[in-house]
Structure 1
Amino acid sequence: MKQPVRPLGRNAKSILDRIDLSILETLTRAGRITYQALSEKVGLSARPCLERVKRLEQKGVIRGYTALVEPSALGHDIIALAGISMRDPSTESRQRLERALCAYPALIELHVVNGEYDYVARFVAPTLAAYESLTETFLGDPRLGIGRIHTTFVLKTLKPFEGYPVLDGQD
Structure 2
Amino acid sequence: MKPPARPGRAVLDRIDLSILEALTASGRMTYQALSERVGLSPRPCLERVKRLEQKGVIRGYAALIDPTSVGHDIIALAGITMRDPSAAARQRLERALCAHPSIVELQVVNGENDYVARIVAPTLASYEALTEAFLADPGFGIGRIHTTFVLKTLKSFDGYPVGDSRE
Bin of the TM-score, shorter chain as denominator length: over 0.9
CA drift of 1:101 comes to: 1.1
- Structure 2: how far apart are the matches of 1:169 and 1:59? 18
CA deviations 1:75-131 (Å, max 9, x no partner) are 000000000000011111100111111121000000000000000000000000000
What are the residue-to-residue correspondences of 1:54-65 with 2, within 5 Å?
54-65=50-61
Corresponding residue for residue 7 of structure 1: 6
What TM-score comes out, normalization by structure 2 length?
0.96
CA drift of 1:8 comes to: 2.7
For the residue of structure 2 that corresponds to 1:159, the secondary structure is coil
Corresponding residue for residue 69 of structure 1: 65
Moved over 4 A (4+): 168-171
What are the residue-to-residue correspondences of 1:47-58 with 2, within 5 Å?
47-58=43-54
For the residue of structure 1 that corresponds to 2:130, the secondary structure is helix
Q: CA, structure 1 residues 161+30, in 2 after alignment: closer, same or farther (shift >3 Å)? A: same
Corresponding residue for residue 82 of structure 2: 86
CA drift of 1:169 comes to: 7.8
| Structure 1 segments unaligned to the other structure (5+ residues) | none
- Structure 1: how far apart are the matches of 2:82 and 2:7? 29
Aligned residues: 167
The one-letter amino acid of 1:105's match is P
Corresponding residue for residue 24 of structure 2: 28
The one-letter amino acid of 1:54's match is K
- Structure 2: how far apart are the matches of 1:80 and 1:165? 24
CA deviations 1:33-78 (Å, max 9, x no partner) are 0000000000000000000000000000000000000000110000
Corresponding residue for residue 137 of structure 2: 141
Q: CA, structure 1 residues 2+66, in 2 after alignment: closer, same or farther (shift >3 Å)? A: farther
- Structure 1: how far apart are the matches of 2:12 and 2:61? 20
| Structure 2 segments unaligned to the other structure (5+ residues) | none
CA drift of 1:7 comes to: 2.2
